[in-house]
Amino acid sequence: MRRFVVVGHRAVTSSNFNLNDLCGSAGRLDVLLRCINSVFFLSHDLRRDAELYLIFKGEPDPPKTIKFVGNELKYLNPDERSTAALIRNALMKKIKKSEIRSTPGIYISRNNFEDTIEKLANISKLIYLREDGKPFDQKETDQDYTFVLGDDRNLSKEEEGILKKFQPEIISLGPISYHSDHCITILNWLLDQNTNPYESK
């Protein structure tokens, strides 16, 4: 299983946003939508061995976490607008204590960044993607990884402090700084090389 956590620092926590303005009124929701695409889409298929946790920290009602479970997902299309409509459905849900299913494979909860990281630290190896990290060297092919990224902004000092309590490995994709969704695409491909190496063709 491969897991990704992306922090939406300004991502709106109300369903009352405009599908025609996903960058502005929705707090750079467009970045998160592209991350969803990168985590799950293969050509004419979805990655069933993947999960994504999007942390919504924007106004008016933070925090909320929307979880995507690859082997349950339905109704996911690759374009931004239709995925935004699925997010809007999830944000319409009234959440009390526990996680609620919105549509197949999509769950919303009151979990914050720390709740999410703590839970994932128990079941997987945490990887923090940061420009000054070391190259990703995937030694254990059966390892469960959780990759943690910011949206268009890096993790805040506070978020970094929380993450570091759980002793993540800090890795980098090289000297160039990439969009979060592009990082996810590259990481997925790197992981694929071990599970489906060229040599086995």
> Which residues fall within 8 angstroms of residue 55, CB to CB, at 6 or more apart?
5, 6, 7, 8, 11, 63, 64, 65, 112, 113, 116
Determine, following the binding rule CB under 8 A, whether residue 46 of this chain makes contact with a second copy: no
Give 166 or 178: the residue with its C-beta nearer to a second copy: 178
SS3 for 35? helix
User: Which of these segments, 5-13, 26-34, 56-64, 155-163, binds a second copy (CB under 8 A)?
Assistant: 26-34
Q: How far is the CB of 111 from a second copy (least distance, A)?
A: 27
Task: Give dist(CA 9, CA 26) in Å, integer.
Answer: 11
Q: Binding to a second copy by residue 169, rule CB under 8 A?
A: no
Residue 174 sits in the site that holds a second copy (CB under 8 A): yes
Nearer to a second copy, 108 or 130 (CB): 130
Dist CA 94 CA 5 (whole Å): 23
Counting runs of H as helices and runs of E as strands, what totals does the chain give? Answer: 5, 10
* Binding of residue 60 to a second copy (CB under 8 A): no
> Contacting a second copy (CB under 8 A), which of 11, 12, 31, 32?
31
Task: Work out whether 151 is an interface residue with a second copy (CB under 8 A).
Answer: no
Under the binding rule (CB under 8 A), the answer on residue 198 touching a second copy is yes
Using CB under 8 A as the binding rule, whether residue 79 contacts a second copy is answered as: yes
Binding mask 108-147 for a second copy (x = CB under 8 A): ---------------------------x------------
Candidates 55, 59, 185; CA nearest to 120 is: 55
- List 7, 8, 38, 63, residue binding a second copy (CB under 8 A): 38
Kind of pairing, strands 64-69 and 50-56? antiparallel
If the CB atoms of residues 23 and 92 are measured against a second copy, the closer one turns out to be 23
**CA 4, 9, 14, 20: dihedral to nearest 10 degrees?**
-90
- Going by the DSSP 8-state scheme, the letter that residue 200 receives in this structure is G
Tell me how far CA of residue 44 lies from CA of 76, 81, 104, 145, in angstroms.
Answer: 12, 19, 19, 25
Burial group, residue 21, by CB count within 10 angstroms (0-12, 13-18, 19+): exposed
Is 20 a binding residue for a second copy by CB under 8 A? The answer is yes
Residue ranges binding a second copy (CB under 8 A): 19-20, 22-23, 30-31, 34, 37-38, 41-45, 77-82, 135, 152, 172-179, 182, 185-186, 189, 192-193, 196-198, 200-201
